[in-house]
């Protein structure tokens, strides 16, 4: 029996830190985990990468791994894994979209974002980031406003836990929202979509994402269960990993 490697891809404004507790719980059960850092949010990358650079970075990680690989993307990370594993990548056996964006080939996240209600302040910025209010920096990068982060991402966390996440938020490249994915791995690889019952963010999911190879799971959490309830996320991932190792 081959022990799967679980690759955990973070969302926009976040980083590998958002997976730290999930990874620790999986490692305690003997699972191998990898948490790539995306160039679009990695402060060491100058200039910052975009969606295609993020997908290429994840694919480089996949190229070093033996099957079976369980590839999980959180939020924007769903778009990254959609392109990174397209082909499909020979090592990847299952995709998990954790409150994840699920574009089809040719889709951008902005194109999948529903129009905000009339009267919403900062409509352009909210539409650009899928429901989050941002500040545009002089260098063109965008920062998620702390109040928006608390209300949209971490509202189901204890106050200290939420603040710890807010303190680690990173600027991001707005190009990630407007670029289209060049392939859709979920058309060839079995996938699980994890819907979060108390998610305040819109679901950026292609209407074509359906069929018998798509499993759906629901968690009683907000948009970032990998931070608010890492135990539940680890349980879901461990269960799938056991299936694909059989």
Is residue 6 pLDDT above 60, yes or no? yes
Interval 112-144: pLDDT, tens: 998 765 554 444 444 334 457 899 998 889 999
- 3-state SS, residue 8: strand
Residue that has been written with the tokens 């759906």 in this structure: 216
Average pLDDT over residues 5-30: 97
Is residue 45 pLDDT above 60, yes or no? yes
d(CA 35, CA 83): 17
Beta carbons of 197 and 203 less than 8 angstroms apart: no
Inter-helix orientation angle 230-245/20-28, to 10°: 50
Query: Tokens representing 229?
Result: 């309830």
d(CA 164, CA 171): 16
Top pLDDT among 148 and 120 is at 148
pTM of the model: 0.93
Q: How far is CA 220 from CA 77, 105, 231, in A?
A: 20, 30, 12
d(CA 218, CA 95): 16
Interval 168-201: pLDDT, tens: 999 999 999 999 999 999 999 999 999 999 999 9
CATH fold for domain 5-110+173-245: Rossmann fold (3.40.50)
Q: What is the 3-state secondary structure (H, E, C) of 119-165?
A: CCCCHHHHHHCCCCCEEECCCCCEEECHHHHHHHCCCCCCHHHHHHH
Looking from the CA of 241 toward its CB, the CA atoms found within 13 Å total 24
Q: What is the pLDDT of residue 116?
A: 62
- 148 confidence band (pLDDT: 50, 70, 90): very high
Average pLDDT over residues 57-65: 98
Per-domain residue ranges of the chain? 5-110+173-245
Interval 63-104: pLDDT, tens: 999 999 999 999 999 999 999 999 999 999 999 999 999 999
């Amino acid at each position: 029996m081959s022990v799967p490697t679980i690759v955990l891809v973070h969302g926009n404004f976040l980083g590998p830190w958002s997976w730290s507790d999930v990874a620790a719980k999986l490692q305690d059960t003997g699972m191998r985990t990898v948490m790539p850092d995306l160039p679009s949010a990695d402060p060491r990358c100058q200039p910052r990468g975009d969606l295609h650079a993020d997908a290429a970075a994840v694919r480089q990680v996949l190229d070093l791994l033996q099957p079976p690989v369980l590839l999980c993307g959180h939020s924007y990370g769903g778009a990254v894994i959609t392109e990174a594993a397209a082909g499909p990548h020979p090592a990847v056996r299952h995709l998990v979209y954790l409150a994840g964006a699920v574009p089809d080939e040719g889709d951008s996240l902005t194109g999948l974002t529903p129009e905000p209600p009339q009267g919403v302040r900062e409509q352009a910025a909210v539409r650009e980031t899928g429901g989050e209010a941002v500040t545009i920096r002089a260098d063109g990068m965008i920062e998620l406003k702390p109040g928006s982060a608390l209300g949209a991402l971490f509202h189901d966390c204890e106050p200290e836990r939420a603040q710890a996440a807010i303190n680690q938020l990173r600027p991001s490249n707005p190009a990630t929202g407007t670029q289209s994915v060049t392939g859709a791995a979920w058309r060839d690889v079995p996938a699980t979509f994890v819907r979060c019952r108390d998610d305040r963010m819109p679901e950026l999911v292609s209407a074509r994402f359906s069929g018998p190879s798509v499993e759906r799971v629901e968690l009683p959490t907000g948009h970032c269960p990998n931070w608010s309830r890492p135990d539940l996320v680890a349980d879901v991932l461990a269960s799938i990993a056991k299936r694909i190792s059989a």
